[in-house]
Structure 1
Amino acid sequence: MKASKIAYKPVGLALGAVSGMLAGVAFRRAWKMIGHEDDAPEATDRDRSWQEVLVAAALQGAIFAVVKAAVDRAGAATTQRLTGTWPG
């Protein structure tokens, strides 16, 4: 395993945590705009429809995937700029 890949591991873990927090904030804001309420439905919430639960899950998954990819890509590009090597 390359030294740059090993050195990037802690950075990647930190970026993963940050991206999770950012995605959570983005999802809550998006759900407030779309669902017009503060809390998204839980899968086990009896008072919510299948449609509500599945739309919330799909939106949450999409937001998390996009935010994670953007943060990971930015971290790798910054690492290359600073070290001259791509971490992956």
Structure 2
Amino acid sequence: MENYGKSWKDIALFLASLLRYKGLRVYPIGLVGRIKATRVMRDYGLDFDDALAVQALRELSIATIVSYEDDFDAVEWVKRHTPEDLL
């Protein structure tokens, strides 16, 4: 997780706010999945965070992601939607 210039306090507040979302699940990706994510980095030119997301999609048999990050468009089996697409 990149901090984009945010302080530890801002990041802690954001993460704590996620507890309020009903139905939100955080998928725990293990060491093997993280290693496989490095292959996703190689194959699609993604950074590690994005490659982890793609690896999680693969492990969960999900082919859709909601993101502004257009780097996911390089992964042919992933369909990306922006939040506005779903309104």
Higher helix share: 1
Higher strand share: 2
TM-score range, shorter chain: under 0.3
Q: Which has the larger radius of gyration?
A: 1
Give the TM-score taking structure 1 as reference length.
Answer: 0.25
Give the TM-score taking structure 2 as reference length.
Answer: 0.25
Structure showing greater relative contact order (alpha-carbon pairs closer than 8 Å, 6 or more residues apart): 1
